[in-house]
Amino acid sequence: MIAALPAAAAFIPGRTLAGIRLGEPAAQVRARLGRDYGICRGCATTTWYFTYRRFDDHGLGVELTGGRVSAVYTLWQPRGWHTATLRLGDPQAKIGSAFTEQCSGYDALVSGTSVYYVLGGNVWGFGLIPKGRSPCR
């Protein structure tokens, strides 16, 4: 089987997004998701974009520092991505308690290393970031 981005990936808060963990080596990301990714030009850290089709905005962003995952987040709002109790597109009220940070044009609700990106009152994306790092990107 060829590694690729899952059709409806799971977010396990505080643990994994699409099977990717914070601190995971870049080689493991490639083994899980393949080598078909775009590389961000102009990003402060090495960032790989895994999308469903070339030049598509929907998928997964993986930031690497020192060859290890330093952040992972959805790109746009990939259809079918979910937690055990929440789907992208659900109302923000379903998230529960989290610290809210206002970013430029959207809100980020942070709970530990988990981030829930909210746009227009609905869950737009998921992410994992190190504690203490700004969720705004």
Tell me what pLDDT residue 122 has. 96
| Residue 115 domain-assigned (yes or no) | yes
Structural domain count of the chain: 1
Average pLDDT, the chain: 93
Which regions of 32-128 does DSSP assign to beta strands (E)? 38-39, 46-51, 59-65, 68-75, 99-102, 107-111, 114-119, 122-128
Rounded mean pLDDT, 7-24: 96
Establish if 134 belongs to a structural domain: no
Whole-number pLDDT of residue 7 = 87
| pLDDT tens track for 34-53 | 999 999 999 999 999 999 98
* Predicted pLDDT at 115: 97
pLDDT tens string 102-133: 999 999 999 999 999 999 999 999 999 999 99
Report percent pLDDT > 70 for the chain. Answer: 98
Q: What is the CATH number of the domain that holds 49?
A: 3.40.33.10
Among 56, 116, 112, 55, which residue's Cα sits nearest to residue 83?
116
